Structure 1
Amino acid sequence: MKRPLFYAKILLFGEYGIIKDSKGLAIPFNTYRGALKTTELLEGDALQSNQNLYKYYQYIASLDSDLVTFNLEEFKQDLENGMYFDSSIPQGYGVGSSGALVASIYDNYATDKITVLENLTREKLLKLKATFSLMESFFHGKSSGLDPLNSYLSLPILINSKDNLEPAGIPSQKEGKGAVFLLDSEQIGETEPMVNIFMNKMKNEGFRKMLSEEFVLHTDACIENFLQGDVKSLFSNVKSLSKVVLKNFKPMIPDAFHKVWANGITTNDYYLKLCGSGGGGYILGFTEDYTKAQESLKDYKLELVYRF
């Protein structure tokens, strides 16, 4: 039986801010994907994945929730038959590796699942998000549920607030000079410690003020500019956002990239922002001239996400 593929995701805007009810915009990233597969010969990565899925199965079996029920017998049987999650999505990189896995498990084993084909009302989206939040908490301690939601629907999602989500139409890509790209920090990032640092910072009144008056303001403006295709305003707001992040979120930026980050702001060749929780993994870049950014960042691995 061929099982569906689930894609990675990129949170273009909204990291950390969505914890505090700013807007967010997440898009599927089709370069990386994962799917459940079965093999008679479990070894290497497949064996490791199968063992991890057993732990996840036990977690799913222990859930007592009105939100969702699972066909646990089938899940267990498939594991015994050599099921594993075959994924090209890098782990700890902020592009939703656990999200794609959660989407796969829901798609295959949830007994009364909401499907992508039905009319996705706000209620259904919120129910899906709450279900995925519960399912993904196994991996991160606390999850918004957005990564699996994005992976499951394979649609851009606009987060207006915690209780207000909608599928978003993003402008189609153009063959322009501008681009959104990923910069590989070549370090693994862990979500939980980064979120803990953020939560500790939130105890500081000055940090909370900066978050609502600067960070959220610029984030919301970036999303509006991006969705409206207003590229000129977008870059001005992304630059402001990049400055705010460099000043206030230093622990989330790997040390080796503080100078690289500042250099983009000084030269205007590119602007960097966090991709997911930070601490490693990918860093998200925006540039009005991708060739120039490639030249400036020639010592690093870049991956193209979107063209303006």
Structure 2
Amino acid sequence: MGKTSRQSAIGQAHSKLILMGEHAVVYNEPAIAIPFDTLIVKAMVKSYEGTVQFISDFYAGELEQMPDKMKGLAECVKSVCEQLNQPVENFQINLESSIPIGRGLGSSAAIAVSLVRGLYNFFKKNLNRETLKRFVDLAEKYAHGTPSGIDREATTHDHPIFFQREHHVEQVKIGEPLHLVVADTGRVGDTHASVASVKEQYQRAEVVTRKRIAHLGQLTRKARQVMESGLLVELGKLLDQAHLELQALGVSDPGLDYYVEVSKQAGALGAKLTGGGRGGCMFALVDSVSQAKVVEDALVNAGAARTWYCKVANEVMSYES
């Protein structure tokens, strides 16, 4: 069984929300993501004699016996120990997460970030950003094949980011606070099916599909401009246009479309899916806290599994569940 001692450390990471640019980012267009830290994951690492134990809501047991879908996390832990010249033994990892899995909110990246931070804290070593990114990429490759990197960046930055592959990540300033309502459909998103849909459309109608992807990139660049200028009504219109393009690419589904429409009917300035699509989450932009409550109530009444309110302001973010 082993025994525990008082030596312990914690690593933490927050969720993320893609505001604009999901899927197009895979084709080298930009995306905007914001930290969503009402949803977090904590990894507590503590001394434990014997083989490494991993305790979580989705698996509890030895590190070496973790299921295939979690192999990336096991490899991440082993690689950190190798990097720090530490044996893979005599500690236990307790993972606690409020981030729903498979909803496009960056759960796998956030878990990896918390694990790496927790291990470095446990072994009392300094962790730089480049090293953290390398370990998170290792875990993400197991989870997503060839990740774009946006989840890694969004879960490790504490401000909104403008992300484009092979480009320096830039901070997005905010002219006026964003009031967002996020809704969970209650269904795991099928990112693989969404990605396959876009690829299939590329093969079947390359010119049209290329234009849609390019348009999503244009909408993302415009969104950054209007966010920095505080033009929230214009931002809402851009969100609506982006959702229509994602619909046309086969990334959305009737459930997401329904909640988007419910939000609009309840007075949202704009609404769209977020993340991989085909399930998962959507969000709505509103003009005030009071309007957020109206939209939240409408989404709950329409059957949303869970909703969250999030206010994003320049340099300072506050969240409520």
Q: Secondary structure in 1 aligned to 2:96? A: strand
Aligned length: 285
Helix, strand or coil for the counterpart of 1:252? coil
Q: Hey, what's the Cα distance between the residues in 1 that align with 2:41 and 2:293?
A: 31
Partner of 2:97 in structure 1?
87
Take 2:152 and 2:258, find their aligned partners in 1: how far apart are those partners?
33
Who is 1:5 aligned against?
Answer: 12
* Aligned equivalent of 1:182: 182
Alignment of structure 1 residues 69-84 onto 2, 5 Å: 70-71=83-84, 73-74=86-87, 76-77=88-89, 81-84=91-94
Deviation at 1:108, TM superposition (A): 4.7
- Residue-by-residue CA offset, 1:90-148 (whole Å, 9 max, x unaligned): 100111111112213433557997625xxxxxxx6xx8656633431111122122212
Alignment of 1:112-191 (within 5 A): 115=128, 132-159=136-163, 161-171=164-174, 174=177, 179-191=179-191
Could you tell me which runs of 5 or more consecutive residues in structure 2 were left unpaired when the two chains were aligned: 1-7, 314-321
Residues 253 and 55 from structure 1, CA distance in 2 versus in 1: closer, same or farther, beyond 3 angstroms?
Answer: same
Q: Deviations over 1:225-265 (max 9, x none)?
A: 1133222321232232233333x13x432323434434656
Question: Partner of 1:242 in structure 2?
Answer: 243
Root-mean-square deviation over aligned CA pairs: 3.5
**Structure 1 residue 276, shift from structure 2 partner:** 0.8
When structure 1 is superposed on structure 2, of 12-21 and 162-171 the one drifting more is: 162-171
**Cα distance, 1:30 vs. partner?**
1.1
SS, match of residue 15 in structure 2: strand
Structure 1 segments unaligned to the other structure (5+ residues): 117-123
Give the direction of change, closer, same or farther, for the CA distance of 1:200–1:84 in structure 2 (3 Å limit).
farther
Task: Spell out, residue by residue over 1:1-41, the C-alpha distance to the aligned partner (whole angstroms, 9 max, x if none).
Answer: 23131111111111011112222122211111112224769
Runs of 4+ in structure 1 off by over 4 angstroms are 38-44, 48-51, 60-63, 108-114, 127-131, 262-268
Residue 21 in 1 paired to residue 20 in 2? no
Paired AA for residue 83 in structure 2: F
Residue pair 2:56, 2:94 contacting (<8 A) in 1 also? no
Q: How high is the TM-score relative to the length of structure 1?
A: 0.76
- What is the alpha-carbon distance in structure 2 between the residues aligned to residue 210 and residue 295 of structure 1? 33
**Cα shift readout 1:158-189 (whole Å, capped 9, x = no counterpart):** 21x31223341533874xxx722211111111
Question: In structure 2, the residue corresponding to 1:283 is in which secondary structure?
Answer: strand
Range with bigger deviation, 30-39 or 271-280: 30-39
Output the CA distance in 1 between the equivalents of 2:115 and 2:96. 13
**Contact 1:10–1:29 (CA under 8 A) maintained in structure 2:** yes
CA contact (8 A) 1:49 1:85 kept: no
Give, in angstroms, the shift of residue 293 of structure 1: 2.5
Q: How does 1:217-256 map to 2 (within 5 A)?
A: 217-246=218-247, 248-249=248-249, 251-256=250-255
Return the structure number with greater strand share. Answer: 2
The 1:257–1:103 alpha-carbon spacing in structure 2 relative to 1, beyond 3 Å, is closer
**Distance in 1 between residues matched to 2:100 and 2:127, nearest whole Å:** 27
CA distance in 2, matches of 1:88, 1:8: 9
Q: In structure 1, the residue corresponding to 2:11 is in which secondary structure?
A: coil
**C-alpha distance in 2, partners of 1:85/1:24?**
29
* Larger CA deviation: 24-33 vs 237-246: 237-246
Bigger mean CA offset, 186-195 vs 288-297 = 288-297
Q: 2:210 aligns with which of 208, 211, 218?
A: 208
CA 1:145–1:85: 2 relative to 1, 3 Å: farther
